[in-house]
Amino acid sequence: MQLGFIVSLLFAILITVFALQNSDVVNINFLFTNIPVSQALVIFISAAFGAIIVTILGLFRQLKLTKKIKDQKHEISKLKEENTKLQEINSIAESPVETLENDTKDDILVNEENTENISAENLDNKKNDNLS
């Protein structure tokens, strides 16, 4: 901010020096009129119009950026809400899955033990049948 102000001030000083060194009277032809004006005044008016145009363009740019920031903040808040909802859904969905996984593992172990016991009993029965 200060650098821009310093550069603008130096530019204004240069324009002033240039205008004062070129202060002759010139004729300005605009549309159907012919006006004798000091060249310094023409330089100052031209510089002022240039500064006004640059300021207006800068304001438009600033307004665009402000609107963009506002829109992005709104989008961020919506995404945060969505993220919170999805985390809640995820935490709810994870707990039954873990329980189901543990239950399934326990069921598999119990089934394996039962299968081994049944197989051992069948072998014993077959041995007894063969011996008899």
Specify which residues 30 forms β-bridges with.
33
Q: What is the pTM of this model?
A: 0.49
Q: pLDDT of the chain along its 132 residues, tens only?
A: 688 778 888 888 888 888 778 778 888 888 888 889 888 888 888 888 988 998 899 999 999 999 999 999 999 999 999 999 998 888 877 666 555 566 666 676 666 666 666 655 655 665 566 555
Collapsed DSSP state (helix, strand, coil) of residue 79? helix
* DSSP sequence for 18-50: HHHHT--EEEEEETTEEEEEEHHHHHHHHHHHH
Residue 23 identity (one-letter amino acid): S
Please report the pLDDT score of residue 40 as a whole number. 83
Angle of helix 2-21 versus helix 39-131 axis, rounded to 10: 160
Every domain of the chain and the residues it spans: 2-111
